[in-house]
Structure 1
């Protein structure tokens, strides 16, 4: 499956396809309360993290885009994930045909510029390969993620509700 996913190398990062070897780190990432407090509010169980890992692979296989595992080049350590999905979100805004961009990083790597570096690398790939508009939705209390989206060129596109919780929507034109 990894061969379907392009490898992107930046100064400090490698974005690559997820593998089964990432399952433990994926569970650690999504099981962390600090990581999930603005993403649904509850840490994911190992079972939920496993399903997410399989969804990442499935996106690449079925749609030709998806999430990359992000590792630090210097250490080879899995530090998070970033990429695109089509989750068929039930939002008031019609997002049909759009790709949803997201990013999630281990708390030890917050505030170091890794997320912006990964997002910009993914956006560069998208400009060439992803021929659809991109949006992201962010909890309005998640100020670091909002700042990241704005720095990465997203523009505010209103408010919505997802599973009864408020979200801010942002758009980015990849093509």
Structure 2
């Protein structure tokens, strides 16, 4: 578990599913993720993938818990999504974040991802990390810049255009 000023970052637990499902079914949250809101079974499979990534890779997305309310407000961290985007992307830890509407606009994403980056660097010392973002997702593009990511080009992923970013760790 990682603690920041306002958040707890921890692996998901079964009790997070209802909030995760609600977040993944919110059209406003899913607008830039590159897919429609999840059906119940899709939300369940994606939720279960969190557990498997931690077990197989030793890292994954953290559940983000608001300390003041103990409310689940999103996911953030690093994963191996096996996207098939090429040798300059696929072998590297991929940063990802998704926040419920209740968790947006509060600076939680930068707080959570800064803590997750520090954790990843301490555990794995990666030479670089990567991420993809919808060209229409201005807030996430801005966040990536604050985290030290530089745009490296564009690609297509699941019939959507995406911007590709990398962060070189020194």
TM-score, structure 1 as length reference: 0.92
When the two structures are aligned, how many residues end up with a matched partner? 169
Name the counterpart of 2:59: 65
Q: Once structures 1 and 2 are overlaid, which stretch shifts more, 88-97 or 117-126?
A: 88-97
CA contact (8 A) 1:126 1:174 kept: no
1: CA distance, partners of 2:82 / 2:125: 17
- Show the counterpart of 1:111: 105
Cα deviation for residue 94 of structure 1 reads 3.9
Kindly indicate whether residue 125 of structure 2 is the aligned counterpart of residue 131 of structure 1. yes
The unaligned stretches of length 5 or more in structure 1 are 1-6
- Distance in 1 (alpha carbons) for counterparts of 2:86 and 2:54: 27
Check 1:96–1:40 CA distance in 2 against 1; reply closer, same or farther (3 A cut): closer
Query: Structure 2 regions of 5+ residues with no counterpart?
Result: none
Of 154, 158, 163, the match for 1:159: 154
The Cα RMSD (Å) is: 1.3
Contact 1:35/1:107 (CA < 8 Å) preserved in 2? yes
Q: What stretches of structure 1 move > 4 A for 4+ residues in a row?
A: none
Secondary structure, aligned partner of 1:44: coil
Residue by residue, what CA displacement relative to the aligned partner does 1:104-149 show, whole Å, maximum 9, x if unpaired? Answer: 0011221110111001000110111123321110000000110011
